[in-house]
Structures are given as structure tokens and as C-alpha cells.
Amino acid sequence: MTILAQWRNRILPAIDTIKRAAGSTEDEFLRIGARMQEFYARSQENSGLASQLVVLLSDDDYHVLIDELKRITGEMGEYLEVSRLQNTEICSSLEQVMDLLETVSRPLAAFHKMDKTLRMLGISTKIESARLGELGNGFTTLALDVEKLSCLVREKTDCIRGQRELLVGLLVKHLKAGKESKLLQNEEARSMLNSATTSFDALVQLNASCSDCGELAGQVSSQVSSAIGEVVSSLQIHDMMRQQMEHVTEALELLVIDMDNSTATESEDVRFAAVAGQAGDVCELQVAQLRNAIEELNVSVNTIIDNLRAIGNQQSLLSGEVMNATGNKGASGNSFFTEFRTVLSGLGIVLRKCADTDRQFFATLGKVAGAINEISGFVSSIENISAEINLIALNAQIRAAHTGPEGVALGVLAEGIKSLSQDAVPQADALLQTLSGISELTDALVKKAESELTALGERLVGMEAEVDGIVTSIEHMNETVSRLLGDLVSGVDGLNADIAQLTSGITVHESVGNLARSAASGLEEVVNQARELVPATDEFHRNLLHMTASYTMQSERRIHEALARRHSGAAEGSVEEALESAESSGSEFGDNVDLF
């Protein structure tokens, strides 16, 4: 087999391989191109969702909500302060009542002494009446009356003492519980108010963050458009590569025809040298063109993959920034809206507890007033008993005077009874004065507390209604934010998944590269053998000048010129330099590009 036949057997399979490679890119590039409009629309939809979130958290309704929250929490703080002052005043008054109740002990001791003295006088009267016999009959009745009065004094004194002890126990219990409860409630409420104030800072920061997200959404939208443009531009490599490979196959087919038509043999130096030189020149040039086409395809496909992934990354960045701005940990996670709603709801509960404590204090004041009235009634009864004692003493004195000398002892007893009655009056007056002071204090406090509690209650009801309205607004906003975030996260995740699936399936540059390298390897063998027989000369440019008419891209011309310069020795150069020049050039396509 002649050398030309051997070359022919290498060139023809290379032509078939190159044609197969050129035709294998269209379906995959069309598949990629078909998804671009979809990806663009979906990325714009995601950016639109982010923009809706930004608008939602930065419009007038949002600012009105912030102002309402500041106002209502300010009113809650005022309510707590008024409630605290009222509580302090009531506690102070109740402590005064306890101090006054302590002074009740002295009159009670005097009444207890009166009881003992009356019993002793009653017994003495009975003894003296028995000694006198018939003369002392009237004094027996007197002794019985004294004994009855003694029992009444003891009974009323015990009632007063019992009421006082119950009252003191009630006051101690409510003062302790009220102070502790109020202290804890105020601390809890203050803590929640501080949390609310901190949340206001978060609200302001949210507004600023959302403004930044708004700018980011615009930037991402612009970057996505740019990336889509890069992908579409890179997809055009398909047509460039197809044309370049068509030119390669055309040149090789013409070479095969020339070789078939040649009758030169290896023994004919001049004619064979011309054919061998042509074969070397054509194959060397087409290998360079082929390698350039492979490199351009590889760069463009990698650009497509990188830009598609960049679209997904930019969408993820936007989604993440929006979630961070709104304080969300995920589409279904809690945001600061949820936390703020919890703070407000908890604050409302604490305020109601404060109101309950105030009502309990008010009820305690009512009980104090009722108990004081009962004690006053008992003291009045003792006053009446004192008057009766005085009357009995007067009757005893009269009887003793009528009895004569024998009634002297009874007269002394009667004088003692009268003296006891007189001593009881100032004690009862002092006790009544103390009780009157307590009554005045509690009555005034009850009236004031009732008025303030009514006002605070109405204010609390109004605040609760406003808080409910604000909480409802927050819930609606949170629902909208969560829904939009859910749609955004779902959209971004879905887009990224589809992009990942598409990019993982892009292997056209690898398969085409393998085919083209296989073809180039066969052609390089022809070049090597041809150059051994006929070295390259400066006739390269003139011999292949006719090919330049079929070039449609600047890179083809640059590669051609680079090889021509190298073989002519006019300037140092290489195919690699030509490729670099081709890659750095502008549009390669002219009017011969099929756009997707």
C-alpha cells in the first residue's frame, strides 16, 4: 500500500469522526437553550417575592405598626407606674392600720381588768348581802346584775380581740402576698417592656435590612439577566464550532480528492513532494483549527455551567439575606414577629395579674372597713354597759343609804362599781377614737382606690383591646411573611435543584472533545510522516491561500496566519499564540450564526 493510500485511510475516518462530533452538539445545546427562558422567569419570580417582602416590611402600614407598638408599650409602662404608686400607697395605709390596731391592745387590757373587777365586786356584793340577811335582799339582785354586766364586758372584749387578731392576720397575709406578687409582676412586666424596647430596635434594623435587601434584589435581578445573557452568548459556540468543523472536513475532503487524483509516486521527487507537502500543510492547519474548536467549546460550556450555577447562588444569597433580615430561621421557623407577639401577649397577662392584685387589695380594704365597723359596734356596746354599771352603782348607793349603818360596806362596794364605770368611759372613748381614725383612713382609701381602680380597669380594657388588634396585625403580617418566605425558599430550592440537574448532565464538551482529539491524533500522524518526507516551507501561505475565502470567523484567519508566519520565518509565533489571540478577540460570528 502506497504512503498516499495510508494517509487516505487515516484522513477519511477522521473526517467521519469530525462530522459526527459536529452533529452531536445540537440536541444538547437546544435542550440548554430551551431552559433559559424558564430559568429567567423563575429567577425573576423569586426576585419578585423578595421585593414583595421588602415592600411589606417597609411600607406605611409597617411604620404605623411600629408607632402603635411604641405608643401602647408606653401606655403599659405608665399603667405599671400608676399601679405601683397606688400599691405603695395602699400598703403604706394598711401598715398604718396595723400600727393603729396595735394601740387597741391597751383599751382591751382595761376592759379585761373591768371584767375581773366586776366579777370580784359581784362576789363581794353577794357575800355582804348574805351577811345582812333580810336587809341585803335587794343587793342580791344587784350582784346578779353586776355579774351579767361582767359577762357582757368579757364577751364584747373577746369579740373585739378576736376581730382585731383576724384583721391583723388578714393584713399581714395580704401585705406580704401583695408586695411579693406586685414586685414579681413589676419585674416581669419591666423585663417584657425592655424586651419590647429591644424589639423596636430590631424593627428599625429590619427596616434598614429590608432596604438593603431591596437593593440586593435589584442587583441579583440584574446579575441574573447578565448571567442569562452570558449563557445565551456562550450557546452560540455551537454554530461557530459546527462551521469551523465543516470547514475542516471540507478542506480534508478536498485533500483526499487531490490525493486520489494524483498519480505521483514516491520515486517522482518533485510531484510527490508537492502532494506530500500539501497533505502536511492541510492536515497541520486542520489539526490547529480542530483543537481551537475544542478549546472554544470547552470554555463556552464551562462558562454556561458557571453562569447557571451563579444564577442559583445569587438566588440563594438573596433568599438567605431576606431570611436573616426578617429574623426567620426557615420558611416555617419562628421570626421576630412571633417573638414580639409572645412578648405583647405575655405583657397583657402580667398587666391583668397586676389588676387582679389591685382588686385583691381593694377587697382587703373593704374587709378592713367592715371589721372596724364591727369592732366599733362592740365598743359602743361596752359604752352602754358602762352606763348600766353607773346606773346600778347609783341604785346600790341609794339602797346602802336606806339600809343604815349596816349598809356601809355595801356603799363602799357601790362606790367601787361607780368608779369602775367612770374609768371605762375614757378607755372606750380612746378605743372609739382609734377605730374612728382607722375608719376614716380606710374609707378615704377605699373611695380613692375604687375611683382609681375603675379608671385603671377601663384603661386596661382599652389597652388589651388595642394589644389584641396589634397582635392580630402582627399575626397577619407574620402569616404573609411566612407564606412569601415559604414560596421564596421553595422557588429558590426548586430552581437550584433544576439547575444542578441540568449542569450535571452537560457532557457535550467532553464527548465532542474526545471525538475531536481522536480525529486530530490520526491527522497528526499524517503531518508527522509528511514532514519527515517533505519539511514545511515558506510556500505554506501561498499554497493554502484559497482556504481563507471560506473562513467566517476571525479565529480561523488568525490560526491560518500564525502557521503561515511560523513556516515563512517572517515572525516568531505559534499556534498557541494564535489561539490566545482568537480567544481575546470580540465577536467571532458575524452574520453566520444561528441564535437559540
Q: How many CB atoms lie within 10 A of CB 352?
A: 13
Of residues 374 and 539, which shows the higher confidence score? 374
Q: What is the mean pLDDT of residues 356-384?
A: 72
Region 505-530: mean pLDDT is 90
208 pLDDT band (50/70/90 cuts)?
Answer: low
What confidence tens digit (pLDDT) does each residue in 102-125 have? Answer: 777 777 677 777 777 777 777 776
Q: Residue 10 pLDDT more than 90?
A: yes
For residue 429, give the 3-state DSSP assignment: helix
User: What is the model's pLDDT at position 12?
Assistant: 95
More confident residue, 522 or 203: 522
What is the structure's pLDDT at 414?
Answer: 67
Which are the contacts of 210, defined by CB distance < 8 A and separation ≥ 6? 53, 54, 57, 58, 325, 326
d(CA 570, CA 596): 42
Mean pLDDT of 242-253: 90
* Cell output for 512: 465532542
Residues 6+ apart with CB under 8 A from 524: 283, 287
Q: Residues 532-586: pLDDT tens digits? A: 988 877 666 666 777 777 788 888 888 888 888 887 764 444 445 544 554 454 4
Q: What is the mean pLDDT of residues 524-533?
A: 91
More confident call, 64 vs 412: 64
Note the pLDDT of residue 590: 41
Residue 520 clears pLDDT 80, i.e. is over it: yes
Fill in the DSSP letter of residue 585. S
Give the pLDDT score at 207. 65
For 262-316, what is each residue's pLDDT tens digit? Answer: 766 666 667 788 888 889 989 999 999 999 988 988 888 898 889 888 888 888 8
Q: What is the pLDDT of residue 579?
A: 46
Contact 568, 538 (CB under 8 A): yes
In the chain, what are the domains? 73-195+351-463 (1.10.287)
Burial class (CB in 10 A: 0-12, 13-18, 19+), 497: exposed
Ranges 5-14, 62-71, 275-284, 323-332: which has the least confidence:
323-332
What's the whole-number average pLDDT of the chain?
76
Q: Report pLDDT for 400.
A: 65
User: Nearest Cα to 173, choosing from 34, 368, 309?
Assistant: 368
137: Cβ contacts below 8 Å, ≥ 6 apart: 129
What is Dmax (Cα atoms) for the chain?
Answer: 192
Grid cell locating 569: 520565518
Decide if pLDDT at 529 tops 80.
yes
pLDDT at 367: 75
Would you state the pLDDT for residue 588? 46
Say which residue, 21 or 210, is predicted with more confidence.
21
**Per-residue pLDDT reduced to its tens digit, 328-347:** 544 344 456 666 777 777 77
Distance CA 83, CA 481 (A): 37
Max mean pLDDT among 82-96, 458-472, 524-538 falls in: 524-538
> Of the segments 191-200, 432-441, 449-458, 484-493, which one has the largest average pLDDT value?
484-493
Specify the amino acid at residue 265. T
Residues 182, 87: contact at Cβ < 8 Å?
yes
Asked which of 11-15, 318-322, 399-403, 466-470 is least confident by mean pLDDT, the reply is 399-403
